[in-house]
Chain A
Amino acid sequence: MNSTEILNSLQVSLTLRRLCFQLIENHDDFTDTVIVGLQPNGIYLANRIKKELELITNQSVVTGALDITFFRDDFRRKEKPLIPSVTNIDFTIENKVVVLVDDVFFTGRTIRSGLDAIMTFGRPKSVEFLTLIERRFTQHLPIRADYIGQSIDTINEERVSVQWKEVHGKDQILLYSPNENE
């Protein structure tokens, strides 16, 4: 696999900042908004967004983590049963605007599961979707993101890897492509 850098550390932080200002435009002081990161990878992005929003607005922003394992559509189609991650939603979503957050928007199946999973906590006023990287023309379902960090054109065999300072030591987004002779 060859890797190409899509966003470097500075570009990641600029993109996060832009996404936050877009959120602020639509959500005022965030009293009726909750941010929910999709496990396992969306939670890092959700935490960054929370941090950045709190820095800009000086308000606390309610954030949670949602596991979607049991709502997936590929049970028994995978080699191994998936072991769930932790869900941490210790607030009500009733009549709130929920912003679901995931790092990469690929087929749309994860966010579809996320929509089903979040509804088990109540009836939100509306649900929005924020993603850092949208892979264009790869969606299997009629779902679109409301906030997009960067749209990229990829082929199915390629893989996007989002790396975070707190996990990998450096903010960076890489695109892995198969070698020509692979």
Chain B
Amino acid sequence: MNDLSVKHLISINDLETNDLNTIFKTAESFKEIINRPIKKVPTLRDITIANLFFENSTRTKLSFELAEKRLSADVINFSASSSSVKKGETLIDTTNNILSMKVDLVVMRHPHPGAANHIVNNTNTSVINAGDGTHEHPTQAILDCFSIREKFGELKGLKVAIIGDIKHSRVALSNIYALKKLGAEVMVCGPTTLIPKYIHHLGVKVEHNLTNALKWCDVANMLRIQLERQEIQYFPSIREYTRQYGLNMQIISELSKEITILHPGPINRGVEITSEVADSSRSLILDQVENGVAVRMAIIYLLAGRLNRA
């Protein structure tokens, strides 16, 4: 009951609802700990964790590193731009070389969907997926749900709209899986070109009008346009996207209820969300960042507890 049902965190789809609740409960304790004068616990002092970042990251990388250090784990960092990957080394070779240095757990971000799973299948380490291409970003989804749960008490019956570039967003897919497991209703909203054709098979509503989506939801999770993953142009211009899907105070003030705003970052201020909304009391954006450390501490703690066990 208390143990996670998985040895790795690759996809939210692999988790049971109980696992999510165990992570939330553990994260609550870690949140209390990181608000103490001394924010560190000695739990993982015999564990070494490698952060393998084959793709750029600010928040996730810092958040994982801080989580690991606050658990007293030894941490080694790797980023593709300054490594032998540029000299032609394969992913498995790079990982196995790092594992030979007696690393216990790997946190990996990679531009290719399925990369984390590839490591699980070809090495014998425990892996946490910190984002694999357009596939999944499970820790982000868990911290988003944790932040919503903190505000509303529970997710069951809540209406959550995920708005923006659904097609290229790993945050969207992980969030859909997590929210559905926890009993929330989910809607995706964005231009037709940025919504995968068969997404309704995941049990989500599809909407193309921002105002309609906002009228429906209790929580709006605003996503960035992932221009770096768009091989063709999906909409005429950023200006036009902003006019149709940008969240500003005027739209919010016309709603008859108060909605809560999430954003996984990085924010493109003035594109998908205005500064006024992002910095308002409706926004949980900075809570998400704080909760990110606590949630990642919980995930690492629970997975590390399974190391060297059957």
Residues in chain A within 8 A of chain B (CB atoms)? 67, 69-72, 75-76, 79-87, 116, 119-122
Chain A residue at smallest Cβ distance from B303? A81
Whether B29 pairs with A67 at a CB distance below 8 angstroms is yes
Whether A120 pairs with B33 at a CB distance below 8 angstroms is yes
> B37-45, B127-135, B140-148, B210-218: which one contacts chain A?
B37-45
Whether B42 pairs with A116 at a CB distance below 8 angstroms is yes
Whether B305 pairs with A75 at a CB distance below 8 angstroms is yes
Chain A residue at smallest Cβ distance from B22? A83
Whether A122 pairs with B37 at a CB distance below 8 angstroms is yes
User: Pick the contact of A70 from B33, B38, B302 — CB < 8 Å?
Assistant: B33
Residues of A within 8 A of B305 (CB): 75-76, 80-81
Given contacts A119-B38, A120-B36, A121-B37, A70 and B2 within 8 Å (CB-CB) = no
| B253 at interface by CB-CB < 8 Å | no
Residues of B within 8 A of A70 (CB): 29, 33, 41-43, 71, 301
Chain B residue at smallest Cβ distance from A70? B41
Residues of B within 8 A of A84 (CB): 25-26, 29
A72 and B39 CA atoms in complex are apart in Å by 16
7 A-B pairs with least C-beta separation: A81-B305, A70-B41, A120-B38, A84-B29, A70-B43, A83-B2, A80-B3
Residues of A within 8 A of B309 (CB): 76, 79
- A-B contacts, 29 of them at CB < 8 A, read A69-B29, A70-B42, A71-B41, A71-B43, A75-B43, A75-B44, A75-B305, A76-B46, A76-B305, A76-B307, A76-B309, A79-B309, A81-B3, A81-B302, A81-B304, A81-B306, A83-B2, A83-B26, A84-B26, A85-B29, A86-B32, A87-B32, A119-B38, A120-B33, A120-B37, A120-B38, A120-B41, A121-B38, A122-B37
Residues of B within 8 A of A71 (CB): 41-43
